Chains A and B, each alone.
Chain A
Amino acid sequence: MTPRYTELQLDALRELANIASGNAATSLSQMLAREVDLSVPRVLALPLADAVDACGGPDDDITGVVIPLDGDIEGVVLLLISLEGAETLCRLLGVDPQSDIGESALREIGNLLGTSCLNALAAMTGLDLEPRPPHLTTDMLGAIVSSLALTQTAPAELVLVLDSELAVAGEPCSISFVLLPTDGAVSDLLKPLGLAETTA
């Protein structure tokens, strides 16, 4: 069945995403010693094809850092970084983006942002959430988002996308921060807030 979320539930998820990505922005700012701006997060419950379109052009090349979640809930955190943004991040950290060190720096940024996001979610919900080691890939956006969503969600259901933009001030670098929880995970996130799903 297609789960439907009430406005109140979506608001609560938006607030969770806001605090989680805020925490991630603070970590990134400390790591780079730069100001990092954060957009108000979007919370979208969409069919898969629309969820992909909401993230960007399906065959645009993009760098993705995937952080699978471990612990009380299932899902993935996905950072989408433009190719230019990935180069900027490496430059700010003083490493060559084309090298192994560049890749490992991006993976490390993924790890840091994923962990700080999860720590915030864990603190708010009382859930035990651990990041697993990140995967790094540069590929087509649609291929990344659809393949990940398909490992998370049953086919007939809507995909829940929580995303916000982190922008490094004064630099051509924005990072889109996407949380793709499984359906079970959404209830688990809402339960501690007293907003577990009541509709189906």
Chain B
Amino acid sequence: MGTVRMGEIEVSSQAGEELVARGLGSCIGLALIDRRSGVAGMAHIVLPEAPSEADPERGKFADLAVPELISRMEEAGAAVRRLDAVLAGGARMFELGDMDIGARNAAAVKEGLERSGVSVRATDTGGNRGRTMRVTVGEFRVRVKEAGGQITTLFDADGGGQPESGRSAR
């Protein structure tokens, strides 16, 4: 329950429910939080841009998934101007090929957020390790665990937008 698989989008206002994106490699976990209205959402984004073909999966591609997640948050009662965005993932797991899909994913997600006027509060992207990202509705704390590492708090909505741990908020 609560697992947001690749290409999926989940939005919840049920306090205590946990949204988790597991095993993020080059994928991006994007958490959006509106503390005031008690809504949190998560997208597990796979690639930067949708192909031109008809009917692509909206949750899979940054250019479609970011606006989709925002509009699902609004439907659940959130206000765009109050949204806090947190990103994790976008690693380059292997030095294979020329494309750094992880970095392109991170850039595309940030661009989409900027276009919609949503502030990025904290990020933990890049590097070459996998990550799992989780947010608990009602607590509005975003925690990230890197492969082989400890769980750290990347963002705490109660903490005035500053991450608790030593991780950088960009």
Contact = CB atoms under 8 A, between A and B. Distances in A.
A160 interface: no
Interface stretch (B70-78, B117-125, B128-136): B128-136
A154 B53 CA distance: 12
A118 B131 CA distance: 32
A137 B96 CA distance: 13
Contacts of A66: 94, 96
Chain A CB count within 10 A is highest, among B26, B61, B101, for: B26
Interface in A133-163: 135, 137-144, 146-148, 150-151, 154-156
A49 B22 contact: no
Contacts of A144: 25, 93, 130
Interface in A39-94: 47-49, 52-53, 57-59, 61, 66, 68, 76
A143 B148 contact: no
B47 A150 contact: yes
A139 B129 CA distance: 7
A47 B101 CA distance: 19
A159 to B, nearest CB: 11
Contacts of A59: 22-23, 130, 132, 145, 147
Contacts of A140: 22-25, 130-132, 147
B23 A141 contact: yes
Contacts of A52: 6, 23
Contact size range, A:
20 to 34
Interface in A80-130: none
Given A48-B7, A140-B132, A143-B147, A150 B26 contact: yes
A150 B23 contact: no
Contacts of B61: 155
Interface in B57-95: 60-61, 91, 93-95
A49 B8 contact: yes
Contacts of B51: 154-156
Given A49-B6, A155-B51, A143 B24 contact: yes
B94 A147 contact: yes
Contact of B93 (A57, A58, A147, A155): A147
Contacts of B56: 156
Given A135-B94, A147-B101, A150-B46, A142 B23 contact: yes
Interface of B: 5-8, 22-27, 46-47, 51, 53, 56, 60-61, 91, 93-97, 99, 101-102, 129-132, 145, 147-148
24 contacts: A49-B6, A52-B23, A57-B22, A57-B23, A58-B22, A58-B132, A59-B23, A59-B147, A137-B93, A139-B25, A139-B129, A140-B22, A140-B23, A140-B132, A142-B24, A142-B130, A143-B24, A147-B93, A150-B26, A150-B101, A151-B97, A155-B47, A156-B51, A156-B53
Interface of A: 1, 47-49, 52-53, 57-59, 61, 66, 68, 76, 135, 137-144, 146-148, 150-151, 154-156
